[in-house]
Chains A and B, each alone.
Chain A
């Protein structure tokens, strides 16, 4: 019985198509990630500047109030109330400083994703890189060999990519991290 195989030219066309379409989508993913990085970077710069300005203004306001309090007689209740506000502001400032570190974590994750996207683009190029002629008499065997070679190449590159993408950010929330003194 004659063995039936995919027509070689169509198979090549299919693999090249997968490679080209895949690469095109990954280029778009990379562009979006780069844009996200840029926007996050600009956002944190503006947030940081606003935060510093607000903190400075509040600190100045508190100092003025303290001067005012020293000059005038304030009831114990009012002094207690102002101390309460001061403490609350301090707590919120601490929380804001912790929260404002989001860009450091997210930029590392995005950079890792961009490296993976570039690795995937290289992986996909394997599919379009096998252009050698196939002997028509041994078509079935040759196609099997071609696919095996591609599979091996994909596997090798995939392992190499994974090895170069160690995960440095495992945080799942913005709660402050643990501290250990040696």
Chain B
């Protein structure tokens, strides 16, 4: 059965490119437009991996991760940040919040798939 990935990003074009890349590699993708939407969708159905942006309206990526890690069903689900942010300070915050990896935009689809496969198979 295909694994499901929750892609959270306020940019429609980015969500489209992420979904296109992941679906081409055989994954199911659930899209969310911000952290709050991501949290709601994550509660509806536990996914195999969360891929989230950082800077979004309503709820940012770090807050989303902290909220997800507070849910029993998401304590061990891999969460990757996909963001324009590239500073060591932000990466450290992501790691402290519970992120499992950090990908700086723009992403290369081939490398994204390699990372996703490494994390969830």
Contacts and interface: CB of A to CB of B under 8 A. Distances in A.
Interface of A: 44-45, 48, 52, 55, 93-94, 97-105, 107-108, 168-171, 174-182
Contact of B100 (A98, A168, A181): A181
Contacts of A170: 84, 86-87
Contacts of B37: none
Given A44-B13, A105-B84, A179 B55 contact: no
Interface residues on B, range: 35 or more
Given A94-B108, A179-B111, A179-B115, A101 B101 contact: no
* Majority secondary structure of chain B interface residues (helix, strand, loop or mixed): mixed
Given A52-B20, A178-B104, A171 B84 contact: yes
B84 A97 contact: no
Interface of B: 9, 11-14, 16-17, 20-21, 54-55, 83-87, 91, 94-95, 99-111, 115, 118-119
A45 B12 contact: yes
Nearest to A176: B108
A182 B100 contact: yes
B13 A97 contact: no
Given A168-B55, A177-B104, A177-B107, 14 more contacts: A45-B12, A52-B20, A97-B20, A101-B106, A104-B106, A105-B106, A170-B86, A176-B111, A177-B86, A179-B111, A182-B94, A182-B95, A182-B99, A182-B102
B84 A176 contact: no
